[in-house]
Structure 1
Amino acid sequence: MDTQRKDTILIIDDEPFMVNVLGAFLTEKGFDVESAPDGLKGLSRAKEIQPDLVLLDISMPKMNGFETCQQLKSGNGTSGIPVVMFTAYADKESRVTALKAGANDFLNTPVDNTELLVRVTNLLKVKKYQDFLECHSQALEERVEGRTKQLRKALLDTVHRLTLAAEYRDEDTYTHIKRVKKYTSVLVKELGVPKEKADIMCYAAPMHDIGKVGIPDSILLKPGKLTPQEFEIMKTHTTVGARILRDSDSPFLQAAETFALSHHERWDGKGYPLGLKEKEIPLEGRIMNIIDQYDALRSKRPYKPPFGHETAVKIITEGDEKTSPEHFDPKILGIFRKYSDVFREIFDE
């Protein structure tokens, strides 16, 4: 880090003790640290110094963290800065409000230094991916005006390569991407999705797990059961993925953002990250929910062997200790039942 610009982290908190503790730890880890004592001064300081990441307390005078986050995310020059909010309150409502305000992550206090460092490092890595993606997409969009087949292929190739980057640690990455596209094609056709939108969804669907670039190998490839803390980090691949793909003018990347954010939501409201239920969940999320479940059950994972087709179908349609039919859109579940043999053929190709 001696020969490169250090990443700057802005801490916005009215508690000097918390600022000093977090600041000392992050400085020791090689970051430049700035601070502001309230939301108004934090907004001003963020515009002035353009930090690489903001750590933001929820409970502050004058302007609370939710309002501060909303203004950061809507402001010119600050909307792309990752925000991690922290509070002593771990309730679901605070988390949902924080995410709706635009926060990229959420920590409970007292802050665990190891978790803090992992999340900060991952978000900074994601920001670099997003900066590259925005730059590359902008260059492509400027050339795509003619909508020639060659340029359309270039954009789709970018999507494909980003997906490979997210899943390069899996043994059958390439075949998995092909399968997801084909599963999606079966479902959107039976659901009557218009052809133009269906094509976009088929190309975007394989990007649903792009947020895994922000998950450490020690968690992603762990052969045993994840600890509660590790599972919380794993769950962030949904918001990390949406963050990478956010604010694009490309219909493909907009659809991919929706897939990334919503593919772990459940029909009964017991999914994440927002706990949406039924048709609150975008169609992309409801489709990928069942696709992801089937392909995961059929595939070998560090923590489990592959299941056969009949076993996978039975788990999805009848349930087991982890999975329930109530997790899935009933209409899509019905299509899956009808075309389960087609899913088998796609997987076995």
Structure 2
Amino acid sequence: MNVVIVDDTPTNLQLMRALVQRLEGCQAILFADSGSGLTWCLEHDPDLIIVDYMMPNLNGIEFIRHVRREPRHEDLPILMVTADHEKSVRYAALEEGAADFLNKPLDRMEFLARVKNMLALRRSRQALSCRAATLAEEVKRAVAEIHDRERETIVRLARAAECRDPETGAHILRMAHYAQLIAARMGLPQDFQETMLHAAPMHDVGKLGTPDHILLKPGRHTAAEFEIMKQHTGIGYEILRESSSHALQLAASIALHHHEKFDGSGYPHGLAGEAIPTEGRIAAVADVFDALTSERPYKKAWSLEDASTYLRENRGAHFDPVCVDAFLDMWSTVLDIRRRFSDG
């Protein structure tokens, strides 16, 4: 334990050093000049400061005031050395943050008792701080484990949909990374970007409730079949919406809104503009672009140029212009995502 002693009287310094050295595990650091002592204290982490009041240049109260301005020294124990009759000085010292007082002339037994008490207080606070840091790390680790389980749940549900839907597979990975990319380019918060990455794969989970003869039909759907097909948005929402997980709640909104169109002509509710949640507008661009550029049993893949042209031509109609621009602005990263998550 580092005990800093600041006193302009050499005799007092030597006496207090001798007493401090009687205490096991303690080191006395002496300063006859208050300015030098203050500089050391602000640059290091003492465990106790013993400071005299009557000193040239910087007196004890001014010394304490400067020490307390350092945030990490807010709880540092400080003993002020004063004369018995200097009550006004004591009151001022208390206001500045002195923890206790030593009377002149120094009584050795009293000195040792007060120093022991202050150092015990210091050790207790350090132990409490370490315990708090340990608990914070344990909480952080537990939250990370919960998030890992949430992500596992999302992946497994997405894979369940993949088993039935020929339009998934690597599609859900590309679409999720496109969605995160758009959110990042739009300047949305980092936690929203991360949650989009983990929630977007769930956008078509409602297809688990779509009959096979409609879901797997290779040709164009009839009007009646398409009405049934559109129900996957609401089914996905109902599967996910009551989860306590923030990621699954966002996934529920994506499932419900990713087929809405910016001009209000989409489904299931015909929402328009900013009435469509941000996550739904982002997912629409990511989902359609990857669907257009992916080969399916019933269609050829569009070229990247044709697909990007389609996005531009439908800015403000099918798609939110801000989301389209954010996507196309990051074209090199889009191409990298396509390479990393190819259907092969």
Fold conserved between structures, TM > 0.5: yes
- What amino acid sits opposite 1:292 in the alignment? D
The range that moved more, 279-288 or 179-188, is 179-188
CA distance in 2, matches of 1:340, 1:309: 10
Q: How far apart are 1:146 and its partner, in Å?
A: 6.5
CA distance in 2, matches of 1:149, 1:174: 27
CA distance in 1, matches of 2:167, 2:239: 23
> Does the aligned pair in 1 maintain the 2:181–2:327 contact within 8 Å?
no
Higher-Rg structure is: 2
SS where residue 178 of structure 1 aligns? helix
> Which of 238, 241, 248 does residue 243 from structure 2 map onto?
248
- Listed as ranges, the gaps of 5+ residues in structure 2 are 1-138
Q: Does 1:343 align with 2:334?
A: yes
> How many residues get paired?
202
SS where residue 310 of structure 2 aligns? helix
Match in the other structure for 1:231: 226
> Which of 146, 164, 167 does residue 162 from structure 2 map onto?
167
Match in the other structure for 1:333: 324
Match in the other structure for 1:316: 311
> Which of 137, 152, 158 does residue 157 from structure 1 map onto?
152
Q: RMSD of the alignment, in Å? A: 2.0
SS where residue 147 of structure 1 aligns? helix
SS where residue 328 of structure 1 aligns? coil
> Does the aligned pair in 2 maintain the 1:316–1:325 contact within 8 Å?
no
Q: How far apart are 1:337 and its partner, in Å?
A: 2.4
CA deviations on 1:144-194 (whole Å, 9 max, x unpaired) are: 997343332122101110011112234574422221221122111111111
> Does the aligned pair in 1 maintain the 2:293–2:301 contact within 8 Å?
yes
Match in the other structure for 2:103: none
Question: Among the aligned pairs, what percent are the same residue?
Answer: 44
CA distance in 2, matches of 1:282, 1:201: 13
Question: For 1:192-207, what aligned pairs fall within 5 Å after superposition?
Answer: 192-207=187-202
Q: Does 1:289 align with 2:284?
A: yes
Stretches of 4+ aligned residues off by more than 6 angstroms? none
Match in the other structure for 2:270: 275
SS where residue 154 of structure 2 aligns? helix
TM-score if structure 2 supplies the norm length? 0.55
CA deviations on 1:60-106 (whole Å, 9 max, x unpaired) are: xxxxxxxxxxxxxxxxxxxxxxxxxxxxxxxxxxxxxxxxxxxxxxx
Q: Does 1:213 align with 2:208?
A: yes
- Listed as ranges, the gaps of 5+ residues in structure 1 are 1-143
Q: Does 1:305 align with 2:300?
A: yes
SS where residue 196 of structure 1 aligns? helix
Question: For 1:1-349, what aligned pairs fall within 5 Å after superposition?
Answer: 147-170=142-165, 173-318=168-313, 326-349=317-340
- What amino acid sits opposite 1:316 in the alignment? L
Query: Residues 213 and 181 from structure 1, CA distance in 2 versus in 1: closer, same or farther, beyond 3 angstroms?
Result: same
> Does the aligned pair in 2 maintain the 1:187–1:335 contact within 8 Å?
yes
CA distance in 2, matches of 1:200, 1:147: 18
> Does the aligned pair in 1 maintain the 2:258–2:283 contact within 8 Å?
yes
Q: How far apart are 1:344 and its partner, in Å?
A: 2.6
